[in-house]
Amino acid sequence: MAKLLSCVLGPRLYKIYRERDSERAPASVPETPTAVTAPHSSSWDTYYQPRALEKHADSILALASVFWSISYYSSPFAFFYLYRKGYLSLSKVVPFSHYAGTLLLLLAGVACLRGIGRWTNPQYRQFITILEATHRNQSSENKRQLANYNFDFRSWPVDFHWEEPSSRKESRGGPSRRGVALLRPEPLHRGTADTLLNRVKKLPCQITSYLVAHTLGRRMLYPGSVYLLQKALMPVLLQGQARLVEECNGRRAKLLACDGNEIDTMFVDRRGTAEPQGQKLVICCEGNAGFYEVGCVSTPLEAGYSVLGWNHPGFAGSTGVPFPQNEANAMDVVVQFAIHRLGFQPQDIIIYAWSIGGFTGGLVTRTVRQHLNLNNAEQLCRYQGPVLLIRRTKDEIITTTVPEDIMSNRGNDLLLKLLQHRYPRVMAEEGLRVVRQWLEASSQLEEASIYSRWEVEEDWCLSVLRSYQAEHGPDFPWSVGEDMSADGRRQLALFLARKHLHNFEATHCTPLPAQNFQMPWHL
């Protein structure tokens, strides 16, 4: 009876992965709370085959879920329509509640029938036994066997907790439940506080912007968090997960962030291969409609690196909503997982991010700045390590005019703000002007022409920068170029721009080829 109840309340099972011969558990292992026999791919197909009762019941519940999602998104318009028609009176609401209660009872009955169908299926009983054993005892053997299944990620046990690193408990600088300090609002300086009258005047706009950000705005900025889109992409996501697990030996894990959100990750370990780049870990940050299952992880994988992909809060298996603070908290626990659980050193971790700097143009300025502010340039300038920006010369998303107008590409602003922060003396009037000319070049030939016109001596530029670093240290900003001629500043500015930005002739959604995935330049 307990097993039947577990089947009724258990998660949906999507797929059983093929196991490698070296990873299969011995067939003689008994079915116990701490060790259960894993399925063999030779006897069962890799796709889970539900019985007819479970299959039809699942279809009914999935359809009900889609209708509920559509009703949720259209509820403001529905309530307005019902109010105008006078259907919200008590005499009409009570019968409707009876109908809703009857529908819920019918759906509960369908869920019970689905559970019976699962209970009669040996594949599902095997899976639910392994899942329950793993929740009771997260031994390496149980987790290895559970990794052979792809199921509703909400039931996956937590593999890493944000408080797990010992440094978090010993230092005061770690994040609290409020979130990491990266995106906390700074206190107002003296004399900048609003008066009561100004606050009252701003209140209607603040309320409106808050409602827009938490309803339509968030879904416009992060369309990947929309349930209906995820539902439509589910077959593709499952196929992408299967490829990462079966072909790349990927390992899925659930991370618990400090805000309570559960982050879905996939790790591919290349440290055991002969390729030296496998010793470095590339953490991939997807775009606003991207998922690690089908996202930019393919580029560093093809290049031979170890890869850690993760989904934004509210995307696929990750919970929560993708607001800036939640994004920062998620990124924090992902990096801590890479360092403290996977064993990578910070200097061996590379962040590879795609797209998200292109905000949706339909949001009003107040809403973006107060609730959806992903100020990439500000966060980039706080980073002290090497950076490489890849500008897509035909990008149709983050250009403010047309793709052919390369000067409207927002990647230009990232480069200029980064160089102005790190080398403010070099990026004075002359340096800024010549870098703008170089960014405006529409072809490699034109870029080379500008570079040669100012006779940039790379050996001289390197010697100047190395001398300054040896004397003053590596921390930015640098005052190099303070006593330099205008011609010297131009050369140094062009040299630095060329080292920090590479062009890639492609549109926004074209995957980056492995040969274009390069390490950032550093002295």
Tokens describing residue 244: 């990462």
pLDDT at 188 over 60: no
Q: In this model, does residue 213 exceed pLDDT 70? A: no
| Range scoring the smallest mean pLDDT among 182-196, 225-239, 472-486 | 182-196
pTM for this entry = 0.77
Mean pLDDT of the region 178-187:
55
First-last CA distance in the chain: 67
pLDDT at 214: 65
Percent of the chain with pLDDT over 90: 56
Of 428, 417, 423, 429, nearest in space to 477 by CA: 423
3-state secondary structure 254-318: EEECCCCCEEEEEEECCCCCCCHHHHCEEEEECCCCCCCCCCCCHHHHHCCCEEEEECCCCCCCC
C-alpha dihedral sign at 505, 302, 354, 433 = negative
pLDDT for the residue 75: 82
Q: Are 469 and 479 a contacting pair, CB within 8 Å?
A: no
Better pLDDT: 484 or 42? 484
323 vs 330: CA distance, rounded Å: 11
CA dist., res. 382 & res. 81, Å (int): 50
Inform me whether the pLDDT recorded for 26 exceeds 50: no
Which residues share a beta bridge with 310?
A: 265, 285
Q: What confidence tens digit (pLDDT) does each residue in 378-427 have?
A: 888 888 999 999 999 999 888 888 888 899 998 999 999 999 999 999 99
- Contact call for residues 74 and 158 (beta carbons, < 8 A): no
Give the range among 33-47, 291-305, 332-346, 475-489 with minimum mean pLDDT: 33-47
Of residues 369 and 139, more confidence is placed in 139
Whole-number pLDDT of residue 365:
33
pLDDT computed for residue 415 by the predictor: 95
pLDDT at 212 (0 to 100): 67
Q: What is the pLDDT of residue 281?
A: 96
CB 13, CB 145: distance < 8 Å: no
pLDDT in tens, 308-348: 999 999 999 999 998 888 888 999 999 999 999 999 999 99
What DSSP line would sit under 325-375, residue for residue?
Answer: HHHHHHHHHHHHHHHHTS---GGGEEEEE-STT---TTS-HHHHHHHS---
Q: Which residues are bridge partners to 367 per DSSP?
A: none
Distance between CA 422 and CA 414 in Å, rounded?
12
% the chain with pLDDT above 70: 84
pLDDT at 166: 52
| Long-range Cβ pairs for the range 185-192 (8 Å, 24+) | none
Give me the mean pLDDT over the 180-187 stretch: 53
The three-state secondary structure class of 513 is coil
Helix (H, G, I), strand (E, B) or coil at 394: coil
Quick: pLDDT tens for 107-164: 999 999 999 999 999 999 999 999 999 999 999 999 999 999 999 999 999 999 998 8
Mean pLDDT across the chain: 84
Output DSSP code: residue 176.
Answer: B
Indicate the pLDDT class of residue 367, thresholds 50, 70 and 90.
very low
Say yes or no to pLDDT of 364 above 70. no
The DSSP call for residue 476 is S
Least confident among 65-74, 287-296, 316-325: 65-74
- Would you please indicate which residues are annotated as catalytic (active-site) residues? 355, 395, 472
For residue 368, the model assigns a pLDDT of 38
Please determine, for residue 174, whether its predicted confidence score (pLDDT) is greater than 90: no
